[in-house]
Amino acid sequence: MGIPAGRVQGRGTGPPVISGAGLPGRWTSPVCVGLAVVGLDQLTKWWALHALDDRSIDLVWTLRLHLVHNTGAAFSRGEGFGPLLAGLVVVVMLLLVRYAVRTDDPVIHI
């Protein structure tokens, strides 16, 4: 005969439910990537300030590292808007982390 109706119901017929226990693991990758990017950015800035303070470094042919201080937010434009742009970057990063946590796309979680 057939399977009773009570057994058919409740077998994966609805959307998947995300329990609170899995969320910390979902935060790990995006937060670690974000922290690594910020850390690497700060490390290279520190290196440039100390290694290029009084000299230039010739790398290959005409490629040379030379320290230049930028007075603007981007390419010396937007002077005084640095804090506003930094706040905007923080908001965008938080939105990206939120998206990465909520999506089930495995590529995003790499």
83 within some domain: yes
**What value does the mean pLDDT of the chain take?**
77
Looking at 1-110, list the stretches that DSSP marks H as alpha helix, in order from N- to C-terminal side.
5-8, 23-51, 82-102
Residue carrying structure tokens 């042919």? 61
Domain count, the chain: 1
Structure confidence by residue, pLDDT tens digits, 69-108: 877 777 777 788 878 888 898 899 888 878 877 777 777 6
95 within some domain: yes
12 within some domain: no
Is the pLDDT confidence value at 3 over 70? no
108 within some domain: no
110 to 27, 28, 32, 36, 61: CA distances (angstroms): 12, 10, 11, 14, 37
Query: Which domain range does residue 60 map to?
Result: 23-102
Q: How confident is the model at residue 65 (pLDDT cuts 50, 70, 90)?
A: very high
88 within some domain: yes
pTM over 0.95: no
% of the chain residues with pLDDT over 70 = 73
